[in-house]
Structure 1
Amino acid sequence: MSTDTPPATTPDPSRSAVLESVLADLEAESDQLDAIVAGLDDDGWTTATPAPGWDVAHQVAHLHWTDIASLAAIEGGEAFAALMKGAIENPTGYVDAEADRLAALAPQDLLSAWRDGRRQLAAALRAVPDGEKIAWFGPPMSPASMATARLMETWAHSRDVAEAFGIELPRSARAKHVANLGFRTRGFAYLVRGREVPSVPVRVELVGTDGETWAWGPEDAENRVTGDGYDFALLATRRRTRDDVDVVAHGAAAEEWLDIVQAFAGLPGPDPQPLAARQGGEGAA
């Protein structure tokens, strides 16, 4: 038997570049939300948001909890096993219960914990060995995919907080990550509803925030989704109804998919209310 020491694994520079790009956008999206909540007094943290039953503290608490869960998934072992057990035992209420628990923290303590957690997660994602996948509540993910999922959640919940205060956030190109995830999770949107995943391909061609084309799927697909890329991200995170976005389905398969599209893991939750029906910060999921 050879006693030679195997060569050290050489890091994949393309993998690192993709991960660093996503992490940079995640940091920018987090900092944007941080700038909104950092100046709030205690009463501001109790402001209702479009998510039923969630105030600003719940929104930040959920982001912090998911960072903690992601760290536990990277580390593996008993901590993540306990999270999985909790989710299995209470599939419809686990996320809300954890948000309630952390939202009870003093606002500045919650803010500090969220800041620390997201920095720790970025470092942990960078340290995952090349080729290693991270266990999750759904399929295992690469570090870049997990970072993209964290960006998507931060992007979506930032919109909830901004809407609660009547703030119009910039239509930045970071929405492309969210739109891409919405496309990639087409099959999951069917599975989570107990429906058969169709074999018919769908092409997505959207106008990006800088006027460029965001496109995924076979170019020759008969079923297509077209329209505004930022609006598609809002639709895929279930922050808007189809009537409130500039997104169009062409073909029966595309039409069916847009009715259930969701970029996030877990149950779909309640449908968002139309913009015209929203009053007092209540409405969207």
Structure 2
Amino acid sequence: MDAITTALREQHEELDALLAGLDDAGWARPVPDCPGWSVADVVLHLAQTDELVVSAADGGFAAAAERVVPGAVGETVDDTVGRMVAHQRGAPGPAVHARWRAAASTLREVLAASDPRRPMPWVVTDLPARTMATTRLSECWIHTHDVAVALGVALVPGDRLRHVARLAVRTVPYAFARAGLPAPGPVAARLTAPDGSTWHLGDDDAPTVVTGSAADFCLVAARRLDPAAAEVRATGPGADDVLRLVRTYA
């Protein structure tokens, strides 16, 4: 749990550094990978969902979302988070920044104090606290990337992406289930880390294996990079579908 909460703190710090000192024009910049959202909207979304992790412990995700914005729960998760942002947008950028900082700090405190196996209610099921921490790391990393693109800043990938890549590999069955397809069986990844080393994720004898750039694999799983344009490939049963469907979020 210490490793993942440390990585989460580091990811929060990377986003915080991007946001520090933004002027009104910066907060209003459109985010290409989140159509209709500004930088302020993305940060508001992170604040809202960090708050939901904590409040969902009492009554579950849907009830917590309803407490934030009555009528927010839609047919899909995207519907729900879109309604929440639309309902609460409009605060000045610095106020949104302060709200997210407070939410992120509380989230880290709750996760750090949790047993890694503690069940925490989330979108479709309870998640162990360690998995919840990893999903929040992934979510923040994805949106840090989004904000960086909007601001024209190039980020340097780091070792904490290992947690994101591991989450993507472990949730392949979930990704296939969402698509209404049978899972292909065990999937492993042999990825080139940012420092040039190799990350071995998943079972050594898995019939389906993803290889290539760890950073690109994470961007593919984040739905921020087309697999055809990524430095990744997959071999084995369901290989093309693995790259098409892999994801790190609900």
Taking structure 1 as the reference length, the TM-score comes to 0.80
Pairing 1:255–2:237 present? no
What residue is the counterpart of 1:235 in the other structure? 220
Aligned counterparts of 2:189 and 2:224: Cα–Cα separation in 1: 19
Report matched runs for 1:5-16 at 5 Å.
Answer: none
Cα shift at 1:219? 1.6
What do the CA deviations read for 1:205-264 (whole angstroms, capped 9, x no partner)? Answer: 111111222122222233211101111011111110012210011124122211111111
Cα root mean square deviation, aligned? 2.0
2:211 to 216, 226, 232: 226
What residue is the counterpart of 1:32 in the other structure? 14
What residue is the counterpart of 2:200 in the other structure? 215
Aligned counterparts of 2:225 and 2:27: Cα–Cα separation in 1: 24
Q: What code does the residue aligned with 1:215 have?
A: H
Report matched runs for 1:16-27 at 5 Å.
Answer: 19-27=1-9
8 Å contact from structure 1 (residues 69, 80) kept in 2: no
User: Percent identity between the aligned chains?
Assistant: 35
What do the CA deviations read for 1:42-94 (whole angstroms, capped 9, x no partner)? Answer: 121110112211110111011111101101123x1388624279565442421
Aligned counterparts of 1:192 and 1:87: Cα–Cα separation in 2: 22
Pairing 1:64–2:50 present? no
Report matched runs for 1:112-261 at 5 Å.
Answer: 112-129=98-115, 131-198=117-184, 200-261=185-246
8 Å contact from structure 1 (residues 49, 56) kept in 2: yes
Cα shift at 1:139? 2.6
SS of equivalent to 2:56: helix
* Structure 1 runs not aligned, ≥5 long: 1-18, 266-285
Cα shift at 1:123? 1.2
1:73 to 46, 50, 56: 56
* Structure 2 runs not aligned, ≥5 long: none
Q: What code does the residue aligned with 2:7 have?
A: D
Q: What code does the residue aligned with 2:187 have?
A: V
Distance 1:210 1:79, change over 3 A: closer
What do the CA deviations read for 1:104-135 (whole angstroms, capped 9, x no partner)? Answer: 21211111111111111111123335642111
Distance 1:109 1:172, change over 3 A: same
Q: What code does the residue aligned with 2:145 have?
A: R
8 Å contact from structure 2 (residues 190, 209) kept in 1: yes
Cα shift at 1:30? 1.1
Distance 1:101 1:86, change over 3 A: closer
8 Å contact from structure 2 (residues 60, 121) kept in 1: no
SS of equivalent to 1:171: coil
Name which of structure 1's ranges 171-180 and 119-128 shifts more when overlaid on structure 2.
119-128
Aligned counterparts of 1:160 and 1:168: Cα–Cα separation in 2: 11
Q: What code does the residue aligned with 2:243 have?
A: L
Aligned counterparts of 2:61 and 2:228: Cα–Cα separation in 1: 42
8 Å contact from structure 1 (residues 227, 248) kept in 2: yes
Aligned counterparts of 2:88 and 2:16: Cα–Cα separation in 1: 17
Structure of larger gyration radius: 1
Taking structure 2 as the reference length, the TM-score comes to 0.90
8 Å contact from structure 2 (residues 186, 208) kept in 1: yes
Distance 1:89 1:36, change over 3 A: closer
8 Å contact from structure 1 (residues 175, 233) kept in 2: yes
Q: Number of residues paired by the alignment?
A: 245
Distance 1:210 1:86, change over 3 A: farther
